[in-house]
Amino acid sequence: MRLELGKIFIKDIQFADSSKIENGILYVNKEELLEAIGGDEHIKSIDFDIAKPGESVRITPVKDVIEPRVKVEGPGAIFPGILNKVDTVGEGKTYALKGMAVVTTGKIVGFQEGIIDMVGEGAKYTPFSQLNNLVVICEPVDGLKQHDHEKAVRMIGFKAAAYIGELARELTPDETSVYETKPLLEQLNEYPDLPKVAYVYMLQTQGLLHDTYVYGVDAKQIVPTILYPTEVMDGAIVSGNCVSACDKNPTYVHLNNGIIEDLYARHGKDYNFVGVVITNENVYLMDKERSSNWTSKLVEYLGVDAVIISQEGFGNPDTDLIMNCKKIENKGIKTVIVTDEYAGQNGASQSLADADEKADAVVTAGNANQVVVLPKLDKIIGHIEVVDVIAGGAEGSLKDDGTIVVEIQAITGATNETGYNYLTAKTY
């Protein structure tokens, strides 16, 4: 598959009488946007706000972060199986609005939602502080069940991103990148002298509110399979989970998977990037065994020399990570695992819940238990009281003077594994 990704850089967002993109500025008509995304019986109100880099603004609780994209040529449309038909995507031409995101917030869905600070200490730990954020504030009806609340906010976020992305359809991109992965035999023979590398992409699927969707299917219901990397760029994988904010991959991170982008950047130069194997993270041992068996089998079938394995989440998924690593290594294929750590606030605890001597090449995305003090900011979008109950926070995290003391696991994207540039991370 060959995908041209046109990048349109957004330098500002403003509310206006009509929605359009002009000279790098996104103008949004609130009424038009509301008409496009509203109408869910589970949501009693929707409002919009804007948060820009450097502003004294805190967004919490953050449900998802989504980069608007629109497919302008080729089969399918953005978010297949979610907003559009289940056509196979990943080829043709897609436009992405860079430098901005749609962020969803409102009353908390689950205790593992997070914080985005646009300035100060917290801004150092989240990549989303550097974006112009269109914030969609969704308040649920009283008594709504958590899974209905999550789905309603998730779908509103995707609809908002699709609406904004559609504004770019007739524009000329500021920059275009081309990504191509050929059918397997052709791809394997293209660079015979380079090491053949694949990417094992572990998706969070640990039960209710820990969901990731592949072409609209909850990944708990799939067995490991092979994707063209470009399918990911067209929204074939999206977030639906409320795992700890620093651990979960928001939809933005799936669309901009840093490992895939780095592998493509060195494809044909340092190695031959063959493709992606997606797998899930399970609760029961039998399911873990099945998925890790299939993952290692598919990697062997691809005929690669090495794989990079990334994990989403922590604790229980550490076992899936080590199973994948060990079984792939046992087939004579080298592995590098990318994970974060929960090493305790003093950094002295065991970093992972599972380990094996074959996991001898590890890239860390940081210690999620590291404590930070977030200053009082002038404006809150959402509900500030939740910082006392979200993962990484505790009773009393919100101080009387407005400062917040939390572990960085409470910050959205703080130690995100797949969004992390593993080439510059610390390797053990």
411 and 392 in contact (C-beta within 8 Å)?
A: yes
Please say whether the beta carbons of 180 and 2 come within 8 A: yes
Question: Which residue is listed with tokens 């949004």?
Answer: 28
CA dist 187 and 272 (Å) reads 8
Our CA dihedral for 116, 119, 122, 126, rounded to 10 degrees, sits at 50
* Cβ-proximal residues to 147 (8 Å cutoff; 6+ apart), any chain: 208, 209
Active-site hit among 138, 242, 246, 325? 242
Q: What is the DSSP letter of 90?
A: S
Rg (CA), the chain: 21
Is 246 known to be catalytic? no
Q: How far apart are CA 419 and CA 428, in angstroms?
A: 19
- Cα 414 from Cα 408, distance rounded (Å): 6
Give the side-chain half-sphere CA count within 13 A for 48. 22
Tell me the catalytic residues.
242
